Amino acid sequence: MAAGFAREILPLFRPGDITCMASKGVRLGDARRVYAALSAGFMPPGQKWSQDQLDIFSTWMTEGFQP
């Protein structure tokens, strides 16, 4: 089964993460930019994503950004 945004991706973000990213010009709707910020450790603040989380996000993009 393909990774889905609502099921696998959105729950990876804490409530304040999206707000913080948006204030820095990183919008959740721009998945490749979000991934770049996540993989660089720039986002989310105070809690770098694990490789497993990054892999889920990458797979979601590769599989066509399923809703």
Chain segment 13-54, per-residue pLDDT in tens: 988 888 887 887 778 788 999 999 899 988 888 888 999 999
- Best CA proximity match to 14, nearest among 47, 55, 58, 41: 47
The whole-number pLDDT of residue 36 equals: 93
State both tokens at 44.
């989310």
* pLDDT score of 1 more than 80: no
CA distance 64 to 67: 9
Taking CA atoms, 3 is separated from 40, 45, 65, in Å, by 22, 24, 8
Give the torsion through C-alpha atoms of 19, 51, 60, 15, to 10 deg.
-20
